[in-house]
Structure 1
Amino acid sequence: MSITAKHLLAPLLLVLAGLATAAPDAGNMESLRGKMSLDKDPAPSRIADPLKDQGIQDRVYIHQPPLVPHQVRGYEVDLKVNQCLSCHGWKNAAERNAPRVSPTHYENRDGLTLGDISPRRYFCLQCHVPQTGAEPLVDNVFTPVESLR
């Protein structure tokens, strides 16, 4: 057997062994789709409306992005416009009585401060989400660290 064949055979055997041990558990898994077949599309459920102007929400873990305490439906955030910055940008925040964007959002990945929002922080709704009264899809047993209680 050549060296190449030996190098390919060992990982293949490990994968097969892993599949053999995982197979018994596969029958017990259940997805959020329930028993619906993958070739069928469920009717989309409407996302719950955000809670109206709830004020600043407490954070439950260190570095958690703040939740958005107001409606953002219809906000324009694309390559040319970021409507969030019309209130939360450093220029307008005090006048609009809105929290300013964190200074960390003006840093590039090397820690250098930029003159404008960093491109990797420009699309706010990737991290900052509106607070809703929706019930969780799965049980959550998370508890915040003691210092945040």
Structure 2
Amino acid sequence: MATTDETLTFSTQFVRFRAEYDDLPTFTFFMVANVIVSGYLLLSLPLSFFNIVRSRAKNSRIILIIFDAAMMAFLTAGAAAAAAIVYLAHKGNARANWFAICQQFNSFCERISGSLIGSFVGIAAFILLILLSAVALSRRN
């Protein structure tokens, strides 16, 4: 997402239109949310391995489930906001005079749509992770 940009040149080289991810604060929020969640996942790996080795560590499992749920909500907020902008980029809104830019900026729209799909796959993985963790915690009681 951070490398997503495209420049259109028209009949002369002096007239250029450029689309970058940081032109819209929503895409910046989406990228920051993904970076924070990815960092959290890297930092929570040692604690997860500790929970696998020590099966009696009930409190840290509960803390992990709570933080996983919070990170999933944060990732969902970023992806939902970006999805709204991607929809406007593809379809536009005639009432607000927002034009569909994906007809001109094909590569830009393909890349942001691809990163959005990846983020929704991550949300599904988080849901699965939280459910499996909750089931594993309930079986140990």
Q: TM-score, normalised by structure 2?
A: 0.20
Q: Which structure: greater strand fraction?
A: 2
Q: Which structure: greater helix fraction?
A: 2
Q: TM-score, normalised by structure 1?
A: 0.20
- RCO greater where, 1 or 2, for CA within 8 Å and sep 6 or more? 2
Larger CA Rg, structure 1 vs 2: 1
